[in-house]
Amino acid sequence: MLQAADLTIRLNANDDVVIARVDLPEGTEIAKEKIRTVGRIPAGHKIATHDIDTGKPVRRYNQIIGFATRPIKTGEHVHVHNIGMGSFERDYAFGEDCRKTDYVANPATFMGYHRADGRVATRNYIGVVSSVNCSAHVTRMIAKHFTPEILAKYPNVDGVVPITHGSGCGMGATGDPIDNTTAEQDYRAQLLYNDRGSQPWPICGRYLDLWNEFLREVGLGGAPTPPPVPPPRPTPNPITPPEVTVPPVVPTTPPVPVPPTVSPSSSTTSSSTSSTTSTSTSTTAPRPPG
């Protein structure tokens, strides 16, 4: 087991090196390995725990990490100046250190489910999901209702969490809300504020209320209240037009001209009249004398 005073770390019992935890000056004694450093060893570097001849493999994690390019003395710094790569046959021996698990005779059980990768998990949290951002505050209030005192009545439930999203109501049928114009988003927000006040904005809504209260105090109004909904107008009765009697058309005949009567005592006048009449009625026959 690693102690606080240990100066090195051994990664495997079969390793040819140990790792310096701190900078080790020349001549530092490493009691657990019964060696003494030859030269300075930087922190995190390797120290040879025995003499290694040229061409011999060097193991770390019990794996060959290289071959000695020259003789390496016990306690010497092992690095690229005295170790190099080389070819060798590899036996990866997968799972050779595997140990069968000894399960207890009567294992404890719990209500859970199996994951696809073989692990198991529990479903002890209830998530309250809001379908729109306007219900995010309600979702949080529902989850907040289940305090530890209330949850104590339900030992199979570890907690209730709200699951909300950040998309607002000022959005079109397609695209992202940020793509809408500022006027469109302001319009949607105003409609929502008029209808529900600052409730849809549980964090910044109080500042909106203070601002509108200030506007009202200085006589500039504030958020207008929604106009009352007018009652439905009654459906007017259908107007039936009165019946109109059209008199029959009587055909007319052209007038028949009547010849005028001329008396002797008014010959001048008759003559004048006769002259006038003749202009408009063709020829007038004279009366016989006597």
Which residues form the domain of 60?
8-84
In the prediction, which pLDDT does 247 show? 63
Q: Which two tokens stand for residue 202?
A: 């549980």
In the prediction, which pLDDT does 66 show? 93
Average pLDDT, the chain: 76
What is the CATH classification number for the domain harbouring 79?
Answer: 2.30.130.110
- The residue written with tokens 């109109």 in the block is 244
Q: What is the length of the chain?
A: 290
Query: Above 80 in pLDDT, residue 160?
Result: yes
| Residue 28, in any domain of the structure | yes
Q: Is beta strand 63-68 parallel, antiparallel or unpaired with respect to 113-114?
A: unpaired
Measured CA to CA, the distance from residue 175 to residue 265 in angstroms comes to 111
Q: At residue 214, what is the residue type? A: F
Q: Which two tokens stand for residue 171?
A: 């959005």
Question: Are residue 69 and residue 23 in the same domain, yes or no?
Answer: yes
Question: Are residue 15 and residue 63 in the same domain, yes or no?
Answer: yes
Mean pLDDT of 121-148: 86
Reported as a pLDDT band with limits 50, 70 and 90, residue 89 is: confident
Reported as a pLDDT band with limits 50, 70 and 90, residue 282 is: very low
CB-based contacts of 204, cutoff 8 Å, min separation 6: none
Mean pLDDT of 190-212: 74
In the prediction, which pLDDT does 165 show? 72
Alpha helix ranges (H) inside 11-167: 136-145, 148-151
Question: Are residue 69 and residue 28 in the same domain, yes or no?
Answer: yes
| Residue 280, in any domain of the structure | no
In the prediction, which pLDDT does 209 show? 74
Measured CA to CA, the distance from residue 52 to residue 75 in angstroms comes to 11
Q: Which residue has the higher pLDDT, 122 or 274?
A: 122
Measured CA to CA, the distance from residue 37 to residue 9 in angstroms comes to 14
Question: Quick check: pTM over 0.95?
Answer: no
| Residue 24, in any domain of the structure | yes
| Residue 156, in any domain of the structure | yes
Question: Are residue 17 and residue 77 in the same domain, yes or no?
Answer: yes
| Residue 285, in any domain of the structure | no
The total domain count for the chain is: 3
| Residue 15, in any domain of the structure | yes
Question: Are residue 159 and residue 181 in the same domain, yes or no?
Answer: no
Nearest to 17 by CA among 84, 69, 76: 76
Query: Above 50 in pLDDT, residue 229?
Result: no
Q: At residue 25, what is the residue type? A: P
Angle at 7 between CA 6 and CA 13, to 5 degrees: 75
Reported as a pLDDT band with limits 50, 70 and 90, residue 96 is: confident
In the prediction, which pLDDT does 289 show? 54
| Residue 226, in any domain of the structure | no
Question: Are residue 60 and residue 20 in the same domain, yes or no?
Answer: yes
- The residue written with tokens 């729109």 in the block is 132
| Residue 45, in any domain of the structure | yes
Reported as a pLDDT band with limits 50, 70 and 90, residue 59 is: very high
Q: Which two tokens stand for residue 10?
A: 């051994």
Reported as a pLDDT band with limits 50, 70 and 90, residue 278 is: very low
The domain boundary, picked from 59, 84, 109, lies at 84
174: left (phi over 0), alpha (psi -120 to 50) or beta: beta
In the prediction, which pLDDT does 124 show? 82
In the prediction, which pLDDT does 111 show? 80
Q: Which residue has the higher pLDDT, 267 or 63?
A: 63
